[in-house]
Amino acid sequence: MPFPRSSGVLLHPTSLPSRFGIGDLGSEAYRFVEFLAESRQKLWQVLPLGPTGYGNSPYMCFSAMAGNPLLISPERLRDEGLLSEEDFGDLPEFPAHKVDFEKVIEVKTPLLKKACENFKKETSPKSQQRFKSFCTSKAYWLDDYAFFMALRDAHEGESWHKWEPELAERDPATLAKFEQELADEIIYHKFLQFEFFRQWSDIKRFANDRNIQIIGDIPIYVAHDSADVWAHPEYFCLDEESKEPALMAGVPPDYFSETGQLWGNPVYDWEILQKDHFKWWVERFQSLLDYVDIVRIDHFRGFEAYWAVERGEETAINGEWIKAPGEGLFQVIRDKFGKLPVLAEDLGVITPEVEKLRDDFEFPGMKILHFAFGSGAGNPYLPFNYERNSVVYTGTHDNNTTVGWYEFLPEHEKQGLLAYIGCVSSEGVHWDLIRLALSSVANQAIIPLQDILGLGGAARMNVPSEGVGNWEWRYLPGALTYREIELFRKLTETFGRA
């Protein structure tokens, strides 16, 4: 689906300022949307919004369809009458520049539980009816998710495949027994989703009213320890006895790692999914399109063929490519939803077959300026090689910031960049690359906020080959000044993206 010429910013909500140690859907989220509007942007791209597990990666969530309760704003719960300002009296001092996830969970969980208790006791019949309507409309994923999280809490965070066999294998009598015993906990997890979606829907409406669309991210895979795999094990390649992944997802050696990336997620049993007319995938798209305007499909190439690594391997080197039914899947989804507002993350080992799948459905591919310099005029990431139906980034959440990238750029690539742009401007190399992205023919241009702020490598969001210490970066209140707004706005207007 070709898109009109536009531009925007990549920023995950956890990176917003907040006094609760993590960005949330409170006042700073609205201030960020106002920054986008004042600088004439039309797009806000976020990472997956699901509830994160070990490593805090938004690409390894407990559900492919739920929202992250840590993004719920306690101040908005206060404004609803579910908390009071006195409840915030003993807040600890949080790190200013990063998220301390353990500390955040320790502080926010009691607040969320108290809000839930107050909701059950004190809210109006109208609010209670809204809650019931929400639970009914989302039941196709919410029931399994809330039950899964309640069971996980009851098992002190142990992965589902280590629960009692009757629970792991979803014996109906055992499920009914636990569902009755954990009724209050199940309501709590449903309440968290109700509040997340209510707060997120308000933010989205605020953005849409200012002609800003939300780009949401759909990871190709889900975490093994998730409601999705527990509830639908038939859709995944699992070992029959241990219930662990029999085939693990990843990618072969690439730009980011000499040994490849072994993600550990179970790959899909596409044959079973296909027999079920891709029902689970249709529901997944439906759930995401409920709260975003445009979908970025992560690891798009895996829908043409995916890299599968057998259980027991410690790196992704010894894997194999297996054909996937991407054409059939996207045709079913198009039949259901019409022409899709989809962006394809077509990075990595891209073959003519992957390009054909992308182009057959008119999905814009991604162009990354950090990959553009040092390998000659045929480099597909050089702006003069772009097609209009593409989206250009200075870098993605997996790249260093532009300032950090330039600092460690090999000399021959640095010379290639300088020859291309002429020289580094007085505003800095990050603004040179922003100008290059906005001036390109690509229909869409997305700039990470770190580049607008001119931040170095310490502000990097993710290092793909490292399992811990990622996803923590936050910006400070007041960082978005008149200077950034004016520079960004003028370039956006100059290059026809306003």
pLDDT of residue 468: 83
Please provide the average confidence, as pLDDT, over all residues in the chain.
95
What's the average model confidence in pLDDT over 292-304? 96
Give me 242's structure tokens.
């241990």
Burial of residue 433 (number of CB atoms within 10 Å: 0-12, 13-18, 19+): buried
What number of H helices and E strands is found in the chain? 18, 12
pLDDT of residue 238: 97
Give the whole-angstrom CA distance, residue 66 versus residue 49. 8
Say what the alpha-carbon torsion angle 96, 97, 98, 99 is, to the nearest 10 degrees: 30
SS3 at position 217: strand
| Confidence class for position 1, pLDDT limits 50, 70, 90 | low
Buried b (16+ CB within 10 A) or exposed e, 317-345: eebeeeebbbeebbebbeeeeeebbbbbb
Estimate the crossing angle of helix 183-208 against helix 27-38, to 10 degrees. 20
Neighbours of 376 (CB within 10 A): 8
Alpha-carbon separation of residue 199 from 72, 80, 185, 452 (angstroms): 7, 11, 21, 27
What's the average model confidence in pLDDT over 292-319? 95
| Confidence class for position 367, pLDDT limits 50, 70, 90 | very high
pLDDT of residue 348: 82
| N-term to C-term CA, the chain | 20
Cα-flanking dihedrals φ and ψ of residue 163, to 5°? -70, 175
pLDDT digits (tens, 9 = 90+) for 77-88: 999 999 999 999
pLDDT at 198 over 60: yes
Q: Are 367 and 392 in contact (CB under 8 A)?
A: yes
Percent of the chain with pLDDT over 90: 89
pLDDT digits (tens, 9 = 90+) for 441-470: 999 999 999 999 999 999 999 998 777 889
Give the whole-angstrom CA distance, residue 214 versus residue 6. 13
pLDDT at 334 over 90: yes
| Confidence class for position 285, pLDDT limits 50, 70, 90 | very high
Catalytic residues: 298, 345, 398
